[in-house]
Structure 1
């Protein structure tokens, strides 16, 4: 069975715009997704990137135009300046890690719920009630928000180190088992095509 290592940030607008397409591609190819939330701001610092607020004006302006174009093309609700961005990514990331390790719901839906809460619903995904609601939406016990915090912190940090070692520099980022790397939601068609070629 094919494996896709999925590196993402629960605050990334481009990860939000990926929607459920990764999960649809994985289902099409009977592939397993390994969800690996990480601290995108720390990743930028480790791999030569620059946090959005510190970028040159031309890059900030282009990013804004591109996000609005992409969200319109995809038919997704999108707020370019959400009320709670940036916020602490760790609590929602820990919840994803706990869900992967011990839950019975849909991890893809959980990730999408956090991203939608930030970019379309004006919610603060660092808040406990928002985290619990997202867990419930995805079929998980909301009490997962209270579990495995130490393991969550350790895994979150380990995901960052692993990402740096494997050539990840942004989010969303997808790596197949033959080490083909795909960056950005706009590379999902390339990932789909590659998985088809792997089978053929």
Structure 2
């Protein structure tokens, strides 16, 4: 059985556009997913990337076109300039980490719940009440927003180090643990699917 380390950002538009396709692929191949939220700005800095605010206007203009094209292609609701982006991704990331460690709900759906809140619903996922509501909506105890803070913060830091060591430099980033094969971007999920089918 394959294990996929999924490096994600809870405020990443490309993670949002991935929707539940990773989960569908993993289920098809009997693979497990290890959800690993990371601080994307630090990941960019550590691996030679540039945070969005510092990118050349031509790159940001293309990004805007590409995001809109993909949302239309995937038939997903999408706000190019959401009300609460960027925001502090740490609290929602801690909630995902806590949910994966000690929850009984659907972690993949929880991740998408946070992403959808940003990119389709104009909700602030740095707000404690919003985090609790999204946890509850996906079958998790909303108290994880508090009880998971310490472990979440520690794991968040470890995830960043592991991402750098695994060769990740953006999100979504998928690493098949058994083979070391890496896939960057929601538009590479078909390649991940084919790779898992070959194992």
How far residue 148 of structure 1 moved from its aligned partner, in angstroms, is 2.3
User: Which aligned segments of 4 or more residues in structure 1 are displaced greater than 2 angstroms?
Assistant: none
Q: Which residue of 2 aligns with 1:55?
A: 55
Residue 170 (structure 1) aligns with: 170
TM-score by length of 1: 0.98
Q: Which of 127-136 and 70-79 deviates more?
A: 127-136
Question: SS at 1:175's partner residue?
Answer: strand
The equivalences for 1:144-159 within 5 A come to 144-159=144-159
1:138 Cα deviation (Å)?
1.1
Work out the CA distance in 2 between the residues paired with 1:36 and 1:140. 18
1:179 aligns with 2:170: no
CA distance in 1, matches of 2:129, 2:117: 12
Deviation larger for 132-141 or 6-15: 132-141
Distance 1:68 1:53 in 2: 19
The reply to whether residue 27 of structure 1 matches residue 20 of structure 2 is no
Structure 1, unaligned runs of 5 or more: none
Q: For residue 188 of structure 1, what is the aligned residue in structure 2?
A: 189
TM alignment of 1:1-200, pairs within 5 A: 1-177=1-177, 178-198=179-199
Root mean square deviation, CA, Å: 0.5
**How far is 1:150 from its partner?**
1.1
**With structure 2 as the length reference, what TM-score do the two structures score?**
0.98
Q: How far apart are the structure 1 equivalents of 2:67 and 2:14?
A: 8
Distance 1:148 1:20 in 2: 25
Deviation at 1:140, TM superposition (A): 0.6
Q: Distance in 2 between matches of 1:139 and 1:191?
A: 28
By how many angstroms is 1:121 displaced? 0.2
